[in-house]
Amino acid sequence: MNNRLIPPWPKLPVLGWASFAAKGDSHLPGVLDARYRRHTISGRAAIALALQVIGVKRGDRVLVPTYHCPTMIAPVVQAQATPVFYPITASGGPNLDWLHGAAAGAGASAMLTAHYFGLPQPMSALRSFCDGRRIALIEDCAHAFFGASDGRPVGHWGNVAIASLTKFFPVPEGGMLVSSTVTLDKLSLAPRGWIDELRAAADAVEIGVQYDGFTGLNSLLRTVFNVKNRLRQRTESPIDDRPLGNDSPDTTSGRLLSSLQSAVAARWIVSSVHSGRIGEIRRRNYAHLAGRLSNVRGARPLFPELPEKTVPYVFPLYVDDPAKSYQPLRAAGVPIFRWDEVWPQTPSLTGDHGLDWSTHVFQLGCHQDLTQAQVDAVADTVRSIVEGSRV
């Protein structure tokens, strides 16, 4: 394989023998505890289906956060509903004072709220707010597949909840729509064609081989994939092109994609890998980044400590001068992104942290397939570039 194109650090989890190793608590509370579950092709597709399930129709008003990626808002617009933006607090939760007093939210039929970075937000008061106004709540667990809020697993507070599989599992695609109260029986999702099924399985394995995930078989598998790529007239091996931060890059066929199931291979991997390993290593990597980046000049960890049993998606770092360092960090291969591409007409609201976070908060990878040495190298690179000097 052509290693020239392979980033030094995997940006998302990669498949390998280690994925199935037993490590840590075998059961973590989270999305999979929901009674009703459907596998979708992506988290974005799950949002589109969630809007359908709760009955959002043309002209309805849907409350959405100012801190978002466009794939959170696009399904609302595609449903011909109107997104109404609300501010978030310094802890990442909806600003309930604003919601209680704002005329902008009057008459909303639905609300989308997210557990950013994998840190579950308090949900009891928000649930009461929505119940008091007959607002259907969509709980966005794209960043928080595991965890609990106010005594319940994440995914159990919303009328429906959505999740993204690629952010926590070594799969090439996949999302979930879940609910503790809604059966989801009316959803009709089409199975994938056999070519798509084979491609999904092969992509998961090939990405793993690129990072030596299959000790004893890596050389053989590289040969197989090189032959496959030559037959497909590729001059270079494909690299991991799963979108980092934005769940689905598709913007033209959202309605079609939302009707598809995820591939069988993705569902099998999610059901087979050891979740305890995911939680233990992510927590370790997050804590390590917090320690290594605690005194960087011009930056600070947004949340230095993790709540108990929290399984982070990324490590959020607040950078004072993001324009100076963001692109150099990406060019260096650091697994990093930010939500600087906001939906048009996202307003500037008093007391809001959302628009500020969109440019200043760098989301650094801390997933289970980064070794401690790799986390050290990421931290050294971040420190060097943010501080403007080489280590």
**pLDDT per residue as tens digits for the range 71-81:** 999 999 999 99
Task: Say how many C-beta atoms besides its own lie within 10 A of residue 246's C-beta.
Answer: 17
pLDDT tens-digit map of 313-369: 999 999 999 999 999 999 999 999 999 999 999 999 999 999 999 999 999 999 999
Tokens linked to 134: 């007959």
d(CA 305, CA 288): 11
pLDDT tens-digit map of 110-121: 999 999 999 999
- What average pLDDT does the structure give for the chain? 90
- Where do the domains of the chain lie? 275-387
d(CA 138, CA 356): 24
- Residue 57 DSSP SS3: coil
Looking at this protein, which amino acid is placed at residue 166?
T
Residues 94 and 123: beta-carbon distance below 8 Å: no
**Per-residue pLDDT, 296:** 95
At residue 389 the predicted structure's pLDDT band, cuts being 50, 70 and 90, is very low
Residues 222 and 208: beta-carbon distance below 8 Å: no
Q: Which residues pair with 175 in a beta bridge?
A: 40, 164
- The residues, ordered by sequence, that sit 6+ positions from 80 with a Cβ below 8 Å of its Cβ are 57, 58, 59
**Per-residue pLDDT, 135:** 96
pLDDT tens-digit map of 12-54: 999 999 999 877 666 789 999 999 999 999 999 999 999 999 9
At residue 156 the predicted structure's pLDDT band, cuts being 50, 70 and 90, is very high
Residues 275-387: name the CATH superfamily: Aspartate Aminotransferase, domain 1 (3.90.1150.10)
**Per-residue pLDDT, 258:** 64
